[in-house]
Amino acid sequence: MKGFAVSLLGLWLVPWVALAQQPADLNTITAISVSGGTVEITGSKKPDFNSFTMTDPPRLVIDVSGAVFQGVAEEQPVGNGTVTGIRTATYGTESASIARILIGYEREVETDIQSSGTKLVVKVLGGGGTAVAQAAPAEGQGTPAQGTAAAATNTPTGANAQDAARAAASDREAQEKAVKAAADAARAEREAQEKAAAEAAARAKADADAERKRQEDARLASQRQDEERRKSEEAAVAERKRQDEEAQAAAKRAEDERRATAQAAADQKRQREEEAKTAAEQKRAAAQASADEKRAAAQAAAEERQASAKTAAEQKRAAAQAAADEKRQKEEERRAAAQARREEQQSAREAAAEAKRQQAAEARERRQQQTVASRESRARPSQGSAAAEPRESGGGAVSSRRKTMTLVGFQQQPDSSRVFVRTNEPVRYSVSGSGNQVVLELENTRVVESNNTLPLDTHFFPSAVSRVEAFSGAGHTVRVVIQLKQGVRYETRQEGGLITLDFPRPGR
């Protein structure tokens, strides 16, 4: 448990160093629940994920691309006899955030990871073994269980017990070497993560100490400046108060003298003002009467002019409105006629295109029949042959709408490896192979999400498939190129909007 806790701490600290701001359109993981050996991860979108296993102690790591956590604890102890606990962390950049879920187990287990809508379900399938999605041994080697099964399958009927014992001992030795190599790699990774976490913590502590010292120096300098400013302000206030008191005393003496002198002059002035006021009131009354008469005449003239101007403006607006209505009606009639012509031309183009597609479909069906007949007449080549595969096609009658490829993926089956492509509706397709390469072409199809053009590196798996990559080709087609470790036969199926290519595992 101590080693498990240290590895969890390393996996948690290192991704947080590169944590970026969370965009609003990422897959938001809101819950992780555990029931027995089943772990259910709930998000807001269909998950795009990769996974691998680690040992000493056993754990499964799932990286969900373009995702963040919300309301999910960073550490969730479980201890139910199968699952020991769950840790979460987010790392990456703003445009490529990755949510990591680490599931610890009491022992080595075999797991199955399934995506159901916006949920990711991890189930324990048996009491031992490694996870299905674990990083595979070196190319050409299988897992220990596969090596044993292969040895059992390839043992000739009737071999003696000594040969079987030697084969079993050889298998066990190879398994022990593979397990030791995986343990050494996991230990080196854990030590590197612990060292990076320690260095990051030391740098963060040094930066924090320097910042605290700088803030303390700034605070002391600010205190000194505040004290000097306060003393200066107090001295200035005292000086201003003394000057104000002297000015008030001088002003009071001058005011008393001025008031005595002004009182006598004011009495005389008041008498003269009262006489002048009486004469001014009489004059003002006469002027007011004359002004009232002039204002009444001007008011009447202005109202008459406003009425005339309003009538003329209303007549002008009515004429302009009538002209605008007529122009709008003509414009609407012109647009309706143009729309009718466009719809008629579009109908003609669609009819011609449909006829052309029907002819092309009939030609493809004839070529397919000829290919099937030619294939049946030839002997079946060996499984490992590197000769070019004949071109296959399918899809039957589909709509003329442009299709969209929504997902390309890789999946391990019990006896084979599967490459699958999902579209929003059935499409016409063709498959061709040459040497160690198989090409699937989807007609009249496009790729919308850039994630679907990222290559899938599968050479770590015990599979004939080494790499899968999709990109837009010429003529509204999508090409899915599958690189093989060795030439093998494959089977192609289409069910609705799902096309699958199954490749047998090497040595089967």
Task: Please say if the pLDDT value at position 58 is more than 90.
Answer: yes
The pair of structure tokens assigned to 422 is: 């999902």
Predicted confidence (pLDDT) per residue in 200-258, tens digit: 888 888 888 998 999 999 999 999 999 999 998 999 999 999 999 999 999 999 999 99
User: Measured between alpha carbons, how far is 129 from 109 in angstroms, rounded to an integer?
Assistant: 5
Helix, strand, coil shares of the chain, percent, nearest 5, are 50, 25, 25
More confident residue, 41 or 151: 41
Predicted confidence (pLDDT) per residue in 105-143, tens digit: 999 999 999 999 999 999 998 654 433 333 333 333 344
User: Measured between alpha carbons, how far is 508 from 492 in angstroms, rounded to an integer?
Assistant: 18
Picking from 116-130, 252-266, 472-486, which range would have the lowest pLDDT averaged per residue? 116-130
Mean per-residue pLDDT of the chain = 81
Q: How many CB atoms lie within 10 A of CB 48?
A: 19
Task: Please say if the pLDDT value at position 492 is more than 90.
Answer: yes
Task: Please say if the pLDDT value at position 104 is more than 60.
Answer: yes
CATH architecture of 387-504: Sandwich (2.60)
The DSSP annotation for 298-345 comes to HHHHHHHHHHHHHHHHHHHHHHHHHHHHHHHHHHHHHHHHHHHHHHHH
More confident residue, 375 or 301: 301
DSSP state of 388: P
Task: Please say if the pLDDT value at position 24 is more than 90.
Answer: no
Predicted confidence (pLDDT) per residue in 61-75, tens digit: 999 999 999 999 999
Q: What radius of gyration, in Å, describes the C-alpha atoms of the chain?
A: 45
User: For the chain, what are the domain ranges?
Assistant: 1-135, 387-504
Average pLDDT over residues 181-195: 81
More confident residue, 151 or 416: 416
Give the pLDDT score at 360: 74
Equal fold, 1-135 vs 387-504? yes
Average pLDDT over residues 28-47: 94
pTM metric for this prediction: 0.28
Give the pLDDT score at 47: 94
Positive or negative torsion for Cα 373, 375, 376, 379: positive
Give the pLDDT score at 84: 95
Give the pLDDT score at 503: 94
Q: Number of C-alpha atoms within 13 angstroms, CB side, residue 60?
A: 30
The pair of structure tokens assigned to 392 is: 């296959």
Q: Number of C-alpha atoms within 13 angstroms, CB side, residue 489?
A: 7
Average pLDDT over residues 479-502: 93
- The answer as to CATH 3.30.200.20 being correct for domain 1-135 is no
Task: Please say if the pLDDT value at position 166 is more than 90.
Answer: no
Average pLDDT over residues 179-184: 78
Predicted confidence (pLDDT) per residue in 330-389, tens digit: 888 788 778 767 876 776 687 677 667 766 766 775 666 565 445 544 434 444 433 445
Give the pLDDT score at 369: 54
Give the pLDDT score at 178: 75
